[in-house]
Structure 1
Amino acid sequence: MADFRQKRRVQAGSLIITAFGDAVLPRGGKIWLGSLIRLLEPLDLNERLIRTSVFRLVKEEWLRTEPLGRRADYALTAAGRRRFAEAARHIYASRAPLWDRRWRLILVVGELAPKEREQVRNALLWQGFGVLGGECFVHPGAELSTVLDALLAEGLADALGALLPLFAADARSAASASDADLVARAWNLDALSGAYGHFVDRYQPVLDELQRDASLDLADQDAFLLRLLLIHDYRRMLLRDPELPEVLLPAQWPGQQARLLCKEIYKRLEAASSRHLDAMLCVADGSVPVEDGTLARRFSQDDPLA
């Protein structure tokens, strides 16, 4: 396991986002900077790099500072919590959501300044929308009211008047050729399939080792670091995945295999990694936040998306 994580190279800011969503949010959503540094240093992220990355996340309004004497906690902003809550619904779902056979569309029908247009585009792509012709964004299952709320949280209230959210007409039979054509135009499934394939190739040997040696004495720290890297890699793929219904996906689609692989490894690491967080994660006053069991429950069989 140590050999696995030593071969990894990660971007500090992106990894910190993963750490907040997976580890910090279920424990109150804030952490003392020194505690965060201690948690991430074993991944060869030095103190200066972590500080710089955290300051950048504050500037980007993911995090906010809560000073306490000479120390400071870093907490998720309201927008940051919303982003994580939406992402968590997909990351920790046991199965992909069912499809009601209706497409969600957001059309650009008004004038937008170039910078504002790019911000809208990026915000919708982040939520898994595909793009048709630059003026139409499409998704198979997004909750449109939630999407618009997300744009508001991103500071794009002025852009909403230029957007028209719509439902496409119901499809009463199996997916049609026009559905398949829409998918091919809106998303690059070859690239996404390749990413899932690489994920499976990387992590299947890890699961094989965990299954082969049931008595494997994995240190709590190693369990946490492996869990963090696992969710980090999986999250980055899901940001590009619209979670299309199975009927619209190519044969032998590797997405569900990757989902089940992630779930199985995560559950095997959960207890040991949680012990490490209980020992290492604290806030600026030195107290250890109590884990919220409702937020910590991951990959539940009863997930509403299933």
Structure 2
Amino acid sequence: MKHLTIPEWIAHFLAADPPRSKSLVMTVFGDAVSPHGGSVWLGSLIELAAPFGISDRLVRTSVFRLAQEGWLAAARDGRRSAYTIAPSALARFEHANRRIYLPLDGHWDGSWTLLLAGASPLGAAERTRLRKELAWEGYAQLAPGVLGHPAGSAEVLDEVLTRLALHGQAPVCSVRDLPGTAGRPLRELVGECWDLAPVIASYLHFADVFGPLLALLRRGCGALSPQQAFVVRTLLVHAYRRVQLHDPMLPMELLPAPWPGAQAYELAREIYRATFALAEQHVMEVLRREDPDAPQADASFYDRFGGLE
């Protein structure tokens, strides 16, 4: 693959691992639409998805299902439809963006966040839903009825409990090892409660696929068009987000070194920085074909990956 041009790399990637339409639409909304006001006309979304081999029929089906699932909200203006990130889903989009774009935080104060589902009046169905939602946030079952994470965000945990209508139902606490006791260190639970092998393999695969692309960008192997830059940026975020969904995001102090997730982040940052400006040209051109007043990316967009130059 090292002898490919960038357009050939794109074609090779799309042939080997074509993105699913609904998942790609979510990536486009999170990466390209949300900085521009969070709303897009259906025709513009269809145009943005076309270079990935996603037909207009698949886009229409995807946004319909995402609206049914509460991710998007639809609005009509005559015969045209626009889709916006649903207010109830904004917190989840923002949380996903923080996971993707914020620099990895190497500081850990030694505390763990525990949710005591066993000491609550929750029914079996409620416990199952809660366990599933917290698993996506990296929580593991440390003991029967005890879900824990060594770097749990109070804000994210509160959002999950509120969204599931479980606010105030289960005790939540912050704990740490008690000095001067013969207790077992909490950090030893990591190897038992989290299987990091698939996560490591996914990060290494990500590096194998996108490392050659970065080399091509550095060598300037063929001038990128704005549309090609948008495709590269979107495929990058789509693949990186897919790996991160299965990463429990444990503190660096509890992870094996060198941690391939840190290397994957640096790789993603370099490729994103190399393509974002040209990609934005394509996004604005497409958005303003249907909406001449479509806003430029907001200020927070330029904070991604530690700052875009």
SS at the partner of 1:163? coil
Give, in angstroms, the shift of residue 133 of structure 1: 4.2
Give, in angstroms, the shift of residue 289 of structure 1: 2.6
Tell me: CA distance 1:118–1:11, structure 2 relative to 1, closer, same or farther (3 Å).
farther
Where do residues 108-257 of structure 1 align in structure 2 (5 Å cutoff)?
Answer: 108=117, 109-133=119-143, 135-152=145-162, 154=163, 156-157=164-165, 159-169=166-176, 178-213=185-220, 216-257=222-263
Give, in angstroms, the shift of residue 300 of structure 1: 1.8
Say whether residues 1:258 and 2:268 are aligned partners.
no
* Residue segments in structure 1 that go unaligned for 5+ positions in a row: none
* Distance in 1 between residues matched to 2:178 and 2:64, nearest whole Å: 48
Preserved CA contact (<8 Å) 1:96 1:243:
no
* Distance in 2 between residues matched to 1:204 and 1:169, nearest whole Å: 39
| Residue 18 of structure 2, aligned match among 9, 28, 33 | 9
Per-residue CA deviation, residues 8-63 of structure 1 (Å, 9 max, x unaligned), is 31121111111111110100001001110110011111111111111111111111
2:3 corresponding residue in structure 1: none
* Distance in 2 between residues matched to 1:25 and 1:283, nearest whole Å: 18
* Distance in 2 between residues matched to 1:177 and 1:3, nearest whole Å: 54
| Residue 35 of structure 2, aligned match among 22, 26, 47 | 26
Letter of the structure 2 residue corresponding to residue 49 of structure 1: L
Letter of the structure 2 residue corresponding to residue 37 of structure 1: I
* Distance in 2 between residues matched to 1:289 and 1:40, nearest whole Å: 20
1:267 corresponding residue in structure 2: 273
Q: TM-score, normalised by structure 1?
A: 0.89
| Residue 116 of structure 2, aligned match among 107, 110, 122 | 107
1:76 corresponding residue in structure 2: 85
Tell me: CA distance 1:285–1:223, structure 2 relative to 1, closer, same or farther (3 Å).
closer
| Residue 98 of structure 1, aligned match among 107, 125, 132 | 107
Quick check: 122-131 or 28-37, which moved more? Answer: 122-131
Q: How many residues align?
A: 296
* Distance in 2 between residues matched to 1:4 and 1:118, nearest whole Å: 42
Say whether residues 1:62 and 2:71 are aligned partners.
yes
Tell me: CA distance 1:37–1:114, structure 2 relative to 1, closer, same or farther (3 Å).
farther
Preserved CA contact (<8 Å) 2:203 2:261:
yes
Give, in angstroms, the shift of residue 114 of structure 1: 3.6
CA root-mean-square deviation: 2.3
* Residue segments in structure 2 that go unaligned for 5+ positions in a row: 1-5
* Distance in 1 between residues matched to 2:64 and 2:250, nearest whole Å: 36
Give, in angstroms, the shift of residue 287 of structure 1: 3.7
SS at the partner of 1:23? helix
Give, in angstroms, the shift of residue 170 of structure 1: 5.0
* Distance in 2 between residues matched to 1:230 and 1:269, nearest whole Å: 10
Give, in angstroms, the shift of residue 283 of structure 1: 8.7
Preserved CA contact (<8 Å) 1:110 1:161:
no
SS at the partner of 2:185? helix
Tell me: CA distance 1:114–1:51, structure 2 relative to 1, closer, same or farther (3 Å).
farther
SS at the partner of 1:281? helix
1:47 corresponding residue in structure 2: 56
Greater RCO between the two (CA within 8 Å, min separation 6)? 1
SS at the partner of 1:209? helix
Preserved CA contact (<8 Å) 1:62 1:77:
yes
Give, in angstroms, the shift of residue 145 of structure 1: 4.1
Give, in angstroms, the shift of residue 97 of structure 1: 4.4
Preserved CA contact (<8 Å) 2:151 2:251:
no
* Distance in 2 between residues matched to 1:189 and 1:21, nearest whole Å: 26
Q: TM-score, normalised by structure 2?
A: 0.88
SS at the partner of 1:167? strand
Preserved CA contact (<8 Å) 1:144 1:165:
no
Per-residue CA deviation, residues 103-134 of structure 1 (Å, 9 max, x unaligned), is 11112022433432232122212222223345
SS at the partner of 1:275? helix
